[in-house]
């Protein structure tokens, strides 16, 4: 995949059909002022709001509208366009195009380009406030976030239909700033090592001791760090998640394997984030044949696993160390004790066992502590939460 680390030079602007289309014209002018080459793809509905001629005049290029264009398709026009772009931006993005992207439907040029694109993708949603709030729309947005798409806006306010609420397309200045601002690459040049998922401690070739960690938080952190410009290595226990593109993945099973993968290399990193739920204990004896029911010993002798994060915090040189704490009660107390005992720089604590958030959920809330301060992040999806936590880490790194 093309990198996130440099400002885009070639932006492919997808315009889908909403009244906010008129703002796309101002957006093109702004992007051109930044010496960016812009090419436009219009959906059928968008061409009823603003004509292709307007976009052609503004960009200086013909506008692309049809998937099966006889002139273009002999040269595989959509693939060529996708390859040309180093950023795909959809503004405005209607609920329809968002739903198509989120489900992989490719029945027109823009939705096909979304699948063919090998570059960072941003969308600026625009729709009526009731449509934006519909759970199905929010689920689609969340799916796109999880796939690494940056969501810009929408804003709250007066809408063209007379309603007031969230759904107004972000202003062209804000979109432009978010695409081009180095502030979005707040971890540029940083090397970040992240552990994620559970560990499995074998009892015999068939059975193991593990925990309910899904790995979602660690993977969201890896993705958000990569988007923020960091070079990311993810050491992961077994999960069902696809690793984010551009992230180096080291797959492990047990706590000992995780320790062996992390401790020898951790000094080379600027930041270590221990998001893995490392099993504290493992069986002393791992049988090499399946234990039979008859004559089974009803107790398993356990021995303590290495504390990976504490070992990383003892290294010299030592990365900035961020731990996680999943607690069911007395959160601040336990979290602060861990911060001190393991010599961490920051600890992010979440209450598990509540009706929302926690282990297998897509969302979470965090209370983050450091020696002389704390910050609370309200319940939100783990991708957004990861970005908020990383921004805090970036601020602390620069202090």
Q: Does residue 196 belong to the site contacting ligand C5P (CB under 6 A)?
A: no
Smallest separation, CB 77 to ligand C5P (Å) = 48
Nearest in space to 196 (alpha carbons), one of 275, 263, 309: 275
Q: Does residue 325 belong to the site contacting ligand C5P (CB under 6 A)?
A: yes
In the complex with ligand C5P, the residue whose CB is nearer, 62 or 264, is 264
Smallest separation, CB 304 to ligand C5P (Å) = 8
Q: Which of 119, 161, 176, 383 does the annotation list as catalytic?
A: 161
Contacts (CB under 6 A) with ligand C5P, residues 197-256: 255
Q: Is 313 helix (H, G, I), strand (E, B) or coil?
A: helix
Q: Does residue 323 belong to the site contacting ligand C5P (CB under 6 A)?
A: yes
Contacts (CB under 6 A) with ligand C5P, residues 337-356: 338
Contact (Cβ atoms closer than 8 angstroms) between residue 156 and residue 79: no
The β-bridge partners of 115 are none
Question: Is 383 noted as a catalytic residue in this protein?
Answer: no
Q: Candidates 87, 122, 233, 305: give the one binding ligand C5P (CB under 6 A).
A: 305
Q: Candidates 308, 349, 393, 394: give the one binding ligand C5P (CB under 6 A).
A: 308
> Alpha-carbon distance 377 to 278, whole Å?
24
> Alpha-carbon distance 376 to 204, whole Å?
42
Q: What is the helix (H) or strand (E) element at residue 280, kind and residue range?
A: none
Q: Does residue 278 belong to the site contacting ligand C5P (CB under 6 A)?
A: yes
3-state class percentages of the chain: helix first, strand second, coil last, to nearest 5: 35, 25, 40
Q: Does residue 366 belong to the site contacting ligand C5P (CB under 6 A)?
A: no
Question: Angle between the 135-146 and 95-103 helix axes, to the nearest 10 degrees?
Answer: 50
Q: Does residue 324 belong to the site contacting ligand C5P (CB under 6 A)?
A: yes
Q: Is 123 helix (H, G, I), strand (E, B) or coil?
A: strand
Catalytic residues: 161
Contacting positions for ligand C5P (CB under 6 A): 195, 255, 274, 276, 278, 280, 305, 307-309, 323-325, 338
């Amino acid at each position: 995949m093309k990198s996130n680390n440099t400002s885009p030079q070639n932006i492919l602007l997808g315009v889908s059909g909403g009244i906010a289309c008129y703002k796309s014209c101002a957006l093109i002018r702004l992007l051109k002022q930044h010496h960016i080459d812009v090419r436009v793809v219009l959906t059928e509905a968008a061409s009823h709001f603003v004509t292709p001629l307007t976009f052609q005049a503004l960009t200086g290029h013909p506008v692309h509208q049809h998937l099966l264009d006889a002139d273009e398709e002999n040269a595989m026009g959509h693939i060529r366009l996708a390859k040309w772009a180093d950023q795909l931006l959809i503004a405005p993005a209607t609920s329809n195009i968002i739903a198509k992207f989120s489900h992989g439907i490719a029945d027109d040029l823009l939705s096909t380009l979304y699948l063919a694109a090998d570059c960072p993708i941003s969308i600026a949603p625009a729709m009526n406030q009731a449509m934006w709030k519909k759970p199905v729309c929010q689920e689609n947005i969340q799916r796109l976030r999880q796939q690494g798409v940056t969501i810009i806006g929408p804003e709250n306010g007066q809408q063209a239909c007379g309603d007031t609420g969230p759904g107004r397309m972000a202003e062209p200045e804000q979109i432009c700033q978010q695409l081009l601002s180095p502030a979005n690459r707040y971890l540029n040049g940083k090397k970040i090592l992240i552990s994620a998922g559970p560990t499995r401690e074998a009892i015999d070739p068939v059975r193991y001791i593990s925990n309910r960690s899904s790995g979602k938080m660690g993977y969201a952190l890896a993705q958000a760090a990569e988007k923020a410009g960091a070079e990311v290595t993810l050491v992961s226990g077994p999960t069902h998640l696809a690793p984010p593109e551009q992230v180096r993945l080291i797959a492990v099973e047990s706590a000992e394997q995780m320790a062996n993968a992390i401790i020898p290399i951790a000094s080379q990193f600027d930041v270590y984030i221990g998001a893995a739920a490392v099993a504290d204990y493992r069986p002393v004896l791992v049988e090499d044949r399946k234990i039979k029911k008859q004559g089974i010993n009803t107790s398993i002798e356990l021995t303590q696993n290495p504390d990976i994060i504490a070992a990383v915090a003892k290294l010299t040189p030592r990365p900035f160390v961020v731990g996680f704490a999943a607690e069911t009660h007395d959160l601040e107390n336990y979290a602060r004790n861990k911060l001190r005992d393991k010599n961490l720089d920051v600890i992010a604590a979440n209450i598990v066992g509540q009706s929302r958030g926690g282990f297998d959920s897509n969302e979470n809330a965090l209370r983050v502590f450091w020696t002389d301060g704390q910050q609370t992040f309200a319940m939100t999806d783990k991708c957004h939460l990861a970005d908020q936590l990383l921004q805090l880490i970036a601020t602390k790194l620069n202090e």
